[in-house]
Amino acid sequence: MSRFFRLGLLLLGVVLAACAPTPKRVVLLVDGDRRVFDTLAVTVQDVLREQGIAINDHDRIEPPLFAEVERSATITVTRIDFKIETVTQPLPFGRQLVRDENYPQSQIRVVQLGANGNVAITYTITLENGKEAARRETVRKIVAQPKDEILAVGTQGSTPPIALSVGTITFLANGNAWVMRHSSGDKRPLTATNDLDGRVFSLSVDGRYLLFTRAADENANAFNSLWIVDTLVLGETPRALPVKDVLFAQLAPDARALAYTSGEKTPGAPGWKAHNDLWYAALTFAENLPTLKPPIPIWKPSNPAPYSWWGANFAWANDGGALVYALPNEIGLIELANRAAPSDADPAPRRVLRRFAPFRASADWVWVPQVAWSYDSRFVLTTLHAPLANPDVASDDPGFEVWALARDGTVNAPLAKQTGMWARPVWSPPDARGENQIAFGVALAPSNSEKSRYALVVMDRDGGNKKQIALGATQEDGLVTVEVAWSPDAKQLIVVRDGDLWLHDLTSARWGQLTANGAARLPRWSK
């Protein structure tokens, strides 16, 4: 071998050595281990494949898989897992202070003990190498609502007594029914359960019986139940009637029957779905125990109107021969033809008195007119949504009018315009001259009558001689809700003002405060 040949081989070895890949020192941190090794792999992914490391979709790799491995590199594999965890936490109860005329002034009583509720919170937890790194709330569900502590502050005797000329007054306050006769100082509770929902509050014409509904426990399948109590008997125990899920109920004028509608409990607002039915049930009393006979359908469940899930309003004619109904787009009559009761074989006919455009509310409630009868049962008094030209199309037009609709269909006439949706007109009994008046509310902001306060107005039965009672000159002075009850002799009326009942004497034009609890509503005044 010549010297030149040996020199060539030496040069070739030097060149090949210069071109050979250089091993890289890698530190691999994975699954709690620390591995140190040399490798000729080019990318991070190649290194992991070479080491037999499986990678999951959520794992975090640093540097990323596509990165080239440097001469000295540290590769970290962080295992990412997720788990679901549900924990239950207490919901603290609150405290309510209510004014109660059942206790002496300034005396404090515990009406209801408080109890915490429970809420189940579901979290999605992120685990990094088996340890919690983050948690995110995904679901929150109330298992049990907290029960507020209720403290009653006595207000008995805080207002001077006012004499009542005639009749029986009932009202609802702080979840209980109350009755007063002779004087505002002579009032007493008819219930002590604090759970009346106010959906039904019907006083018989003679003032003896009060029909009402109690809210059901939140865990019950029903949302309420129907009860009746004798207002004359001191300490009388209210009696349950075998009817639940009641949206409307009213005693017949002779208190020998009742009409009612039903619904079903649903999640979310408003908490029910109407069946759009109507039932008649005879009511008897034996040894003062009420018995309700099996009900007879007047309306079978149906969907008679827009927004039918809300339900309808009804009112029984004073002669007992008809019921007026109010739907979101229609007022009509159900004639009972002076029969003792309707029957399946001969259902009660239904006749439309007036149709109008349903009001399109941008909320989870539906506007349905309140309806009231004249004392001679010839006319229906109500509030209609105007305009009336297109009764088939829902409208957000703010116009509302008070109308009188004749039972025989001969007269349908507006009595007051631009009254607002909560006008709630009420016809008075005949006065000493045999005349009648109508009390109703007029929105102080007619273009926003949903939220407006209302002035109180009295007019003649034909719509003439309108007179605003000294109440409601400004938004601050107006009525939040229009709830009016006439005295049986038509000399006085009651309104709800700032959560209390106030009596207005039409002769003297004076006001007097009847209650001092701040939560009174639904006044009823019978003989």
Same domain, 27 and 71: yes
CA gap 192, 214 in Å, rounded: 11
Q: Per the structure block, which two tokens stand in for 171?
A: 């009202």
Query: End of a domain among 78, 103, 121?
Result: 78
The domain in which residue 97 lies consists of: 81-144
SS3 499: coil
- Check residue 11 and give its pLDDT: 57
Tens of pLDDT, residue by residue over 188-213, are: 999 999 899 999 999 999 999 999 99
Q: Which residue has the higher pLDDT, 321 or 391?
A: 321
**Residue 85: CATH number of its domain:** 2.20.230.10
Residue 133 pLDDT > 50: yes
Residue 343 pLDDT > 70: no
Contact predicate 124/136, CB 8 Å: yes
Count Cβ neighbours within 10 Å for each residue of 9-48 and write b for 16 or more, e otherwise. Answer: eeeeeeeeeeeeeeebebebebeeeeeeeebebeebbebb
- Is residue 236 domain-resident? no
Strands 437-443 and 454-460: antiparallel
- Is residue 411 domain-resident? no
Q: Per the structure block, which two tokens stand in for 37?
A: 């090794």
SS3 17: helix
Among 107-121, 222-236, 330-344, the range scoring the smallest mean pLDDT is 330-344
Q: Give the alpha-carbon dihedral of 256, 527, 456, 155, to 10 degrees.
A: -100
- Check residue 5 and give its pLDDT: 60
Residue 347 pLDDT > 70: no
Interval 510-521 mean pLDDT: 91
Same domain, 87 and 134: yes
Residue 500 pLDDT > 80: yes
CA gap 380, 373 in Å, rounded: 5
Interval 309-323 mean pLDDT: 93
The DSSP result for 49-82, as a single string, is HHHT----TT-EEES-TTSBP-SEEEEEEE-EEE
Q: Which residue has the higher pLDDT, 105 or 469?
A: 469
Q: Which residue has the higher pLDDT, 389 or 412?
A: 412
Q: Which residue has the higher pLDDT, 110 or 127?
A: 127
- Is residue 408 domain-resident? no
Same domain, 31 and 62: yes
Same domain, 53 and 92: no
- Check residue 344 and give its pLDDT: 53
Give 288's pLDDT tier (boundaries 50, 70, 90): confident
Residue 22 pLDDT > 90: no
* DSSP 8-state secondary structure symbol assigned to residue 46: H
Do you find a cis peptide bond into 446, omega within 30 degrees of 0?
A: no
Same domain, 105 and 135: yes
Residues contacting 145, CB < 8 A, separation 6+: 91, 117, 218
CA gap 452, 362 in Å, rounded: 16
Residue 258 pLDDT > 90: yes
Query: End of a domain among 122, 144, 166?
Result: 144
Residue 39 pLDDT > 60: yes
Tell me the β-bridge partners of 525.
169
* Strands ordered across the beta sheet of 80-91: 80-91, 117-128, 131-144
CA gap 207, 204 in Å, rounded: 5
**Residue 62: CATH number of its domain:** 3.10.20.90
- Check residue 110 and give its pLDDT: 85
Same domain, 64 and 52: yes
Q: Please state, rounded to an integer, the average pLDDT across all residues of the chain.
A: 88
Residue 129: closest CA among 63, 33, 32, 207: 32
- Is residue 440 domain-resident? no
Number of domains in the chain: 2
- Is residue 94 domain-resident? yes
Same domain, 86 and 67: no
Residue 15 pLDDT > 50: no
Interval 121-126 mean pLDDT: 95
Tell me the β-bridge partners of 416.
402
Same domain, 72 and 116: no
Q: What angle do CA 382, 385, 390 make, to 5 degrees?
A: 130
Residue 401 pLDDT > 60: yes
- Is residue 139 domain-resident? yes
Percent of the chain's residues with pLDDT above 70: 93
Contact predicate 212/200, CB 8 Å: yes
CA gap 271, 199 in Å, rounded: 13
Beta strands in 359-423 (DSSP E): 371-373, 379-385, 400-406, 412-417
Residue 260: closest CA among 242, 239, 282, 281: 281
Question: Among the ranges 30-34, 244-248, 297-301, which has the highest mean pLDDT value?
Answer: 244-248
- Check residue 16 and give its pLDDT: 46
Query: End of a domain among 51, 78, 105?
Result: 78
Alpha carbon separation from 8 to 3, 5, 17, 18, 253 (Å, rounded): 9, 5, 14, 15, 128
